Amino acid sequence: MTVAMTSRNLSQTCLPRWATQRNFDRLTLGGEVGVLARQLGQPLMPWQQLVADVGLEIDPVSGLPAYREIVVTVPRQSGKTSLILAWQLQRALRWATPQRCAYTAQTGFEAKRKLIDDQVPLLMGSPLRVAVEKILRSAGSESVLFKNGSRIDVLASTESAGHGRTIDLGIIDEAFADVDYRREQALLPAMATRPAAQILVTSTAGTESSIFLRHKVDAGRSAAIAGDSRGIAYFEWSAPEDSDIDNPRTWWACMPALNVTIAESVVKHARATMTEGDFRRSYLNQWTASDDRIIPVVVWDAVVSPSVKP
């Protein structure tokens, strides 16, 4: 089922198949995310601005975010990293009190790599670097510390990772890799005493092993269809299962960053070289029955070591 999106100021040519509607009776902090993204040199694409505008709506009665949980599934190379970084910076720099953000990926090593190797260079190459106190890079304590007392920490992908912490914004990136609920179980108790806390779940589609993400997708689709305006905000860009996966029109209809961060020629090459299952998951954001790899990606990520040399 498609939930049609409307916006007063948003031109969206690639519409999501499922999405929480924008409530224009509420103010939103999404514009601040857009400003920060521009300062990073990564202006938000329409799909990213839509997610930020809805996900950061403020309830006029409580003054708190209307949505405690935001779930986003998009094809690969759509710009998740820049959206996540700008969202974290809005929380770290634009709130009245110091905020603590926790970033997680499929493994602790991947989380470190994405924060330190992908996000930090964008931050330190921008005017926003003046807000940074220091970057901690040592194993187990990777963090971005800000002069106002806020911080972004890498959190290990274990159930006990959040013990003893207080978290205002939790990020579960690459959720397709989770075969259980341990990352969420690490974050939620650490957010329990923070009324304004939010959890942001981002991923591409997975397989039958992606237990956590499958639950989030099913719950999110139901919330979007029901028109829920609190609790969970859900967004999904994907191709219908009966689409012609060789037709560029299919790609244009489900890839909101096509011709912005990824060229049609790249997608065409991927279709010619990747297995069908990998292509469906990566570029069409479609679920498949199983992982085509000889060594499933979940297994590989669980045992890969950064110290192994070719």
Range in 46-60, 162-176, 264-278 with the lowest mean pLDDT: 162-176
**Is pLDDT of 9 > 50?**
no
Q: Are strands 143-146 and 132-136 parallel, antiparallel or unpaired?
A: antiparallel
The pLDDT tens digits of the residues spanning 83-109 come to: 999 999 999 999 999 999 999 998 888
Q: What are the Cα distances from residue 16, in Å, to 6, 13, 77, 274, 288?
A: 11, 10, 16, 25, 19
Which pLDDT does position 245 carry in this prediction? 97
**Is pLDDT of 263 > 50?**
yes
Per the CB < 8 A criterion, the answer to whether 173 and 212 are in contact is no
3-state secondary structure of 139: coil
Which pLDDT does position 299 carry in this prediction? 72
Can you give the pTM of this predicted structure?
Answer: 0.88
Burial readout 275-308 (b: 16 or more C-beta within 10 A, e: otherwise):
eebbbbbbbbbbbbeebbeeebbbeebeeeeeee
Host H or E run for residue 211: helix 211-226
Q: Half-sphere exposure of 175 toward its Cβ, with a 13 Å CA cutoff?
A: 28
What is the gyration radius of the CA atoms in the chain, in angstroms? 19
Mean pLDDT of the chain, nearest integer:
91
Region 60-74 average pLDDT: 98
